[in-house]
Structures are given as structure tokens and as C-alpha cells.
């Protein structure tokens, strides 16, 4: 495998986490009213980090990429992170 192939595989592996983080960070104001407690670039970075961690854990636990349980865990973990960052329980 060449370096370009490796980079392509890594980028495609983390792409769902980054796209979901971007959508969450930019659209959270529509879902949770009020001013954000944390600026959107920080929310984007934290959501993406949580998402990549979930994808790696899903790969380790299931043995392959793209398991439905991993996608569900990705969405739930990132939504919970966004909920905590927005302090939506108040």
C-alpha cells in the first residue's frame, strides 16, 4: 500500500466523524435555543475528536469498519457531547 492509499483510507475512515461534527456544530443553534456556551470551532473540534474515538473503538470492538452499532454509537456520543457543551439540561 502506498502512502497515498494509506492517506486515502485514513481520510475516508474519519470523514463521517468530521461531517457529523460539522453538521452538529453549525446546526445546533436551530435545535437548542439560546446563546452557545462554547464557540463553534471548539464544538467542532470536540465533536470530531469524540467521533473519531468512537469510530476507532467500533473498529477495535467489532473487528471491521462500518458496523451499524458503530454508526449508532457515533451519533449518540456526538449528540451527547453537543448536549453537554450547550448545557441543554438547564
Cα angle 17-20-25, degrees, rounded to a multiple of 5:
120
Amino acid 49: pLDDT = 96
Q: Is residue 25 within 8 Å of 47, Cβ to Cβ? A: yes
Distance CA 4, CA 34 (A): 44
Amino acid 72: pLDDT = 95
pLDDT in tens, 23-66: 988 887 787 777 778 888 898 999 999 999 999 999 999 998 88
Of 46, 52, 44, the closest CA to residue 73 belongs to 52
Amino acid 65: pLDDT = 84
Amino acid at each position: 500500500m502506498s502512502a497515498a492509499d494509506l492517506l486515502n483510507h485514513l481520510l475516508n475512515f474519519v470523514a463521517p466523524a468530521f461531517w457529523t461534527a460539522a453538521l452538529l456544530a453549525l446546526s445546533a443553534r436551530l435545535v437548542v435555543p439560546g446563546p452557545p456556551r462554547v464557540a463553534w470551532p471548539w464544538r467542532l473540534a470536540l465533536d470530531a475528536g469524540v467521533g473519531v474515538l468512537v469510530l476507532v473503538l467500533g473498529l477495535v470492538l467489532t473487528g471491521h469498519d462500518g458496523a451499524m452499532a458503530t454508526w449508532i454509537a457515533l451519533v449518540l456520543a456526538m449528540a451527547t457531547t453537543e448536549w453537554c457543551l450547550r448545557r441543554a439540561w438547564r
